[in-house]
Chains A and B, each alone.
Chain A
Amino acid sequence: MPKRLLSSRWLPVLGLISLVVLLIACTPEHPQSTFEAAGPVAKSQLNLFWILFWMSLAIFIVVVGALLFTLFRFREKPGTALPFQTHGNRKLEIAWTVAPSLLLIALAVITVQTLFALDSPSQDDPLQVEVIAHQWWFEFYYPEYNVTTANEVNVPVGRDVAFKVDSRDVIHSFWVPKLRGKIDIIPNVTNNTWFSASEPGLYYGQCAEFCGIAHAFMKFRVVAQHEDEFLEWVAGQQAPARFATEGLASEGSLVFNTKGCITCHTVAGPDSAAMRDSRTASFLGGQNLVHAPNLAHFASRGSFAGSMFENTDENLAAWLRDPEGVKPGNRMARLADAFNNPDMALSESDIEALVAYLQSLQ
C-alpha cells in the first residue's frame, strides 16, 4: 500500500477541513469561540484540543483510507473464485492493540499534567470573586471590596481571578469560552475555578447547564480592564447609591418605590453582609425567596436582564413594557406586581420615568 497515494488523495479534504476550521477561528464576530483563547488557561486547553484534532485527523485518514482501499481493491469482480476463509492473524491483532495503547498512554500523560496544572491559580494572590447563580442571571460579589454586581464581572488584566461558585436554586454552569472551560454551579456544593485575561476587552459567557425555561437567555460578560481602570470601577461601585432629587429621574424613583420594584431589587448600595447571610439561610431553609439584581449602580453596566440586552434607553423601555415578550420565562414577568396586578401596572410615563431613574444610577 503506497503511502504517498493515500495522502495525496486526502490532501484536498485535509485542506478543506483546515480551511473550515480556520474560517471559524478567524472571523471576528464569534463572541464565544473557543478558538480565540484570550487567557493562559483557555490557551492551554486549546493547545490540547489542537493536539487531539491533528491526532484524530491523522488516525481518521489512515483508517478510513485503509477502509476505502479495501473496499476498492476487494470489490466483487465477475468470475473470481470464492475468497480464502481466513479466521484471523494473531500478530496483526496484537499490533493493532498495542499501537493505539501507546498513543493513548502519551495522551494520558499530557491530560493528567494539564489537569493538575490548571487546578489552582498560578499567582499567589488572586482576586477573589464569588459567583452566585440564580434562575436566570449571575450575581457577582467581591469580598475584598464589598462590591455586589450582576450580569457583568469586571476583572483586572493579567491578574488571576479565583471564582467561588454557588447556586441559589438549580444547577447552572459558569463558562467564558475565550477564558476557560466550564465549572458547574451546584447548590450545596462549593466549586472553585480561576482564569486570567491577557488583553482588555469584553468576554462573553453563558450558562451551559440546562436550568429551566429561560436557560438560553442566561448570559454574562467579563469586562477585563487595566488595573487602574479596574480600581476606578471598584471605587464607583463602592460609592453610596445616588438619590435622584429632581426631574424625570426623581419621578422614576417614586415609581420604583410604589410599583413594587423595590421588593426584589436593592438600590441602596452594596448588599450588607447580614442581607447576604439571611438570603443564604432562607434558601437553605427551603423558603425559595426570590431576590433580583442589585441596581445601585445599574447605569455603569453595559447590559441587563441576564446580559441579554445592551443597556440602552430603548432596550430598557422595551424590557419594562413587556418582559415576557422579550425574554420568555423570566421571573420578573411572572412574579412582579407591576406585571401581574392590574392596579400596579406600569403606564408609558411610568416606564419613561423608570428608564430615566435607572440610567441615573451611575
Chain B
Amino acid sequence: MVAANELIGGVLAKRPVAPTGVVGWITTIDHKRIGILYGVTAFIFFILGGIEAFLMRIQLASADSSLVSPEVYNQMFTMHGTTMIFLVVMPMGAAFFNFVIPLMIGARDVAFPRLNAFSYWTFLFGAILLNISFLTGGAPNVGWFGYSPLTDNIYSGGSGVDYWILGLQVLGVSSLAAAFNFIVTIVNMRAPGMSMMKLPVFAWMTLIVSFLLVLAFPVLTVAITLLLFDRLFGTTFFDVSAGANPLIWQHFFWAFGHPEVYILILPAMGIVSEVLPVFSKKPLFGYTVVVFSGVLIGFMGWGVWSHHMFTVGLGPIANSAFALITMFIAVPTGIKIFNWIATMWGGSIKFSTPMLFAIGFITMFIIGGLSGVMHAVAPSDTQQSDTYFIVAHLHYVLFGGSIFGLFAGIYYWWPKITGKMMSELLGKVQFWLFFIGMNITFFPMHFLGMDGMPRRIVTYAGESGWEFWNAFSTAGVFLIGLSIVVFIHNVIYTARNGKKAGNDPWDARTLEWSISSPPPEYNFVEIPTVKDKDAFWDEKYSQGPDGRPIPKVQGAAEVAVKEKEHNIHMPTPSYYPVLLSVGITLIAGGLVSHLSVSIIGGILALFAVYSWAFEPATAPDAPASSEKEGAY
C-alpha cells in the first residue's frame, strides 16, 4: 500500500521535504506558520467586513439617503455579520490557538499537524466561496441568522443564500477539524508536570471553546443542510405551505448561535487573563475560579438560546425560564471581571499597549454585559430586541470585547511571532483612536434603539428624529478606520525598524517566553518540566525573605538559552491537506454551479484522503530540524 501511495503521489509531485518560498507556505504543517496564515487572512477579512460596515454607516449618516440601494444594503449587513463572526473573530482566535498553545504548554507542535494545515486551507477556501457570491450575481441578503422562510426559494431567488449555506458548511468542516485538534493537543501534549490546574488560562479557554465548537457547529450543519435540501431538491423542512413551523429554524440556529457567542468571547477572555498578570507583575487572582467560571459559562451557554426569541410568542413560562438562566450567566461573567480587577490590585501596573487593550476590553465588556442583563429581562427586552439597542449591545461585546481582546493578543505576542517590538507610541495612538471611535460609533446606538429605530433598515425618514445620533455614530467610524491605518503603519514600521525583542521582552510568566523570538521550528530543544502555574516566572524568580519575588539569575532572558545541537525530527510538510481542502470546496461549489465540479472535487478529495492516510508523518529522507536555521 505504501508503494501504491508513492506511485500516486509521485505522479503529482515529490513530497516537499524541505520546501521554501510559496510552496513552503502552502505545504507547511508548522503550527506557527499556520497561525500566521490564519492571522493574516483574518485581518484581510477584518478590512473587508469593515468596508461593508463603512458603507452601511455612510448610508445611514443622513435621513432618506439613497447612496446605497436596499438590495446592496441588505447584502452588506448580511456579509458584515457573517464575515466578522466566521471569517474574523473565529479565525483570529484560531491564529492564537495555533501559534501560542503549543508554545504555552511546552509542545513541539499540535497533535495533528496535517489536520491543522487542512483546517486553515478549508477555512480560506470556504471564506472565498462565501465571498465569490459578490461576483456571481449577488451576495446573501437575508441577515446573518437567515430566518426561514425568508431563505426559501420563493422569497430569496438567485444563488446568494446557496453560497451562504455552502460557505458556512465548508467553514464548519474547518472549525470542527481545528477544534478536535486543539482538544487532543491540550489534553495530551502538555509538558510533564503541567496538570490541568496548572494550565495557562488561555489554554483553558481554548479548550472550552473547542468543546463548544464540536458540540455547537453540528447543529448549524444540520440546519443548513436541511435548508440546502429545501432550496436545491425541493424538500419541505422549512416550507410554510407544507405546514412547516418557521420557529424550528430559529431554535436550530440559536442552539448553535448562542454557544457561538461564547466561542467568540472566551478566547478574548483567555488573552486578557494572560495579559493582565504580566503587566501587573502578579499572578492571576483566583485562577481556579476564573477557570471554572469559564467552564460554567460554556455550560450555561447551552441553556439560554431562546433569549434571542423573546418576541416570537413562546409564552410567559418559557420566557421566564430563559430570562432567569440568562440573568444568572451574568454571575460567572461578573466573577471574571472582579478577579481581573483584583489581579491588578496591589500590582505594579505598566501601561504598555497590550495592557491598554486588555483594560479597554474590561470596561467595554462591562457595558456590553450590563446591557446584556437588560436584554435578559424579557418584558422590557421586547422594546429593545431587533432595534439599534441590540446592535449597540452586540458591538460592545464583540467589538469592545472580542476585537479589543484580540488586539491585546496581537500586541502582546507580536514580539514572539516576529522577533521585533512594535512601536509603543503608535500602539497607544491606535488604542485611543480605537477606544474613542468605538464609543462614538456604538454608544449612540443605545439611544437610537430606545428611540424606536429597528435594525436592518436601509434608510429612515427625516421625521423619525434619528438623524443626529446616526450622523454622530458615522463620525466615529472614521476614527476606527484611522486607527486601523495607524495599526497597519505600525506593522510596516516594525518590520523595517522594529527593535529586536529578545526572548522575554515583557518579563512574562508562561513558557512561550522562555524560547527565542521567533521560536525555532521545533519550539523547545528540550521539553520543559513544569512545577506550578506561571512556569516561566518560577524559573526566573524565587520568593525572597519578605515574601516578594527576587530574580534568580541576572537577566531573565538567559534562563532558557541552550545549545541547538540536537537532531529533532519534525513532521514533514505535505500537499494532501491543501488538496483535500480544494476537493471539499469544489464539492460545495459544484452545488451552486455545475454538478460536474462536485464530482471532480469528490475525486480529488478521495485521492487526497487516501494518499494522506498512507503518507508517513515524517518522510524518511527529511533532514533533521537543527540543520535548518531560522523560523518561517
A74 near B450: Cβ-Cβ < 8 Å:
no
A49 near B289: Cβ-Cβ < 8 Å:
no
* CB neighbours of B335 from chain A (8 A): 93, 96-97
**What 1/0 mask marks residues of chain A from 26 to 38 whose CB sits below 8 Å from any chain B CB?**
0101111111000
A216 near B458: Cβ-Cβ < 8 Å:
yes
Q: How far is the CA of A96 from the CA of B312 in the complex (A)?
A: 35
Given contact pairs A67-B363, A97-B335, A45 touches B285 in the complex (Cβ within 8 A): no
Given contact pairs A88-B285, A189-B247, A214-B70, A111 touches B370 in the complex (Cβ within 8 A): no
B58 within 8 A of A: no
* CB neighbours of B351 from chain A (8 A): 75-76
User: In the complex, what's the smallest C-beta–C-beta distance from B1 to chain A, in angstroms?
Assistant: 53
A184 near B313: Cβ-Cβ < 8 Å:
yes
A83 within 8 A of B: yes
Closest to A73 in B: B345
A118 near B379: Cβ-Cβ < 8 Å:
yes
**What 1/0 mask marks residues of chain B from 136 to 174 whose CB sits below 8 Å from any chain A CB?**
000001110001011000110000000000000000000
B450 near A187: Cβ-Cβ < 8 Å:
no
Q: How far is the CA of A360 from the CA of B384 in the complex (A)?
A: 41
Given contact pairs A71-B344, A182-B385, A60 touches B366 in the complex (Cβ within 8 A): yes
How many chain A residues have a CB neighbour from B under 8 Å?
97
When the two chains form the complex, which single residue of B247, B285, B373, B547 contacts A186, counting CB atoms closer than 8 Å? Answer: B247
A24 within 8 A of B: yes
A88 near B323: Cβ-Cβ < 8 Å:
no
Q: How far is the CA of A88 from the CA of B331 in the complex (A)?
A: 18
Q: How far is the CA of A247 from the CA of B580 in the complex (A)?
A: 75
* CB neighbours of B143 from chain A (8 A): 210
A150 within 8 A of B: no
User: In the complex, what's the smallest C-beta–C-beta distance from B378 to chain A, in angstroms?
Assistant: 6
User: In the complex, what's the smallest C-beta–C-beta distance from A277 to chain B, in angstroms?
Assistant: 16
A88 near B383: Cβ-Cβ < 8 Å:
no
* CB neighbours of A272 from chain B (8 A): none
Given contact pairs A60-B366, A76-B350, A93-B339, A87 touches B243 in the complex (Cβ within 8 A): no
* CB neighbours of B198 from chain A (8 A): none
Q: How far is the CA of A286 from the CA of B334 in the complex (A)?
A: 50
Q: Which of A101-109, A138-146, A222-230 contacts B (4 or more CB under 8 A)?
A: A101-109
Closest to A99 in B: B334
B282 near A86: Cβ-Cβ < 8 Å:
yes
* CB neighbours of B548 from chain A (8 A): 81-84
* CB neighbours of B371 from chain A (8 A): 56
Q: Which of A2-10, A169-177, A249-257 contacts B (4 or more CB under 8 A)?
A: A169-177
Q: How far is the CA of A27 from the CA of B468 in the complex (A)?
A: 13
* CB neighbours of A286 from chain B (8 A): 239, 241-242
B247 near A180: Cβ-Cβ < 8 Å:
no
Q: Which of A122-130, A201-209, A237-245 contacts B (4 or more CB under 8 A)?
A: A201-209
Q: How far is the CA of A29 from the CA of B323 in the complex (A)?
A: 33
A182 near B465: Cβ-Cβ < 8 Å:
no
B280 near A116: Cβ-Cβ < 8 Å:
no
Q: How far is the CA of A76 from the CA of B273 in the complex (A)?
A: 19
* CB neighbours of B379 from chain A (8 A): 44-45, 48, 111, 114-115, 118, 181
Chain A positions near chain B (C-beta within 8 angstroms): 20-21, 24, 27, 29-35, 42, 44-46, 48-49, 52-53, 56, 59-60, 63-64, 66-67, 70-71, 74-77, 80-89, 92-93, 96-97, 100-101, 104, 107-108, 111-112, 114-116, 118-119, 135, 169-171, 173, 175, 177, 180-184, 186-189, 191-192, 204, 206-216, 283-288, 308, 328-329
Chain B positions near chain A (C-beta within 8 angstroms): 69-71, 74, 141-143, 147, 149-150, 154-155, 239-247, 280-283, 285-289, 311-313, 315-316, 319-320, 323-324, 327-328, 330-331, 334-335, 337-339, 341-342, 344-351, 359, 362-363, 366-367, 370-371, 373-374, 376-387, 447, 450-461, 463-465, 541, 543, 546-550
Q: Could you pull out 17 A-B pairs where Cβ atoms are within 8 angstroms?
A: A31-B464, A49-B380, A52-B374, A63-B366, A74-B345, A81-B548, A84-B548, A100-B331, A104-B328, A111-B378, A115-B316, A182-B382, A186-B246, A210-B456, A212-B150, A215-B70, A287-B241
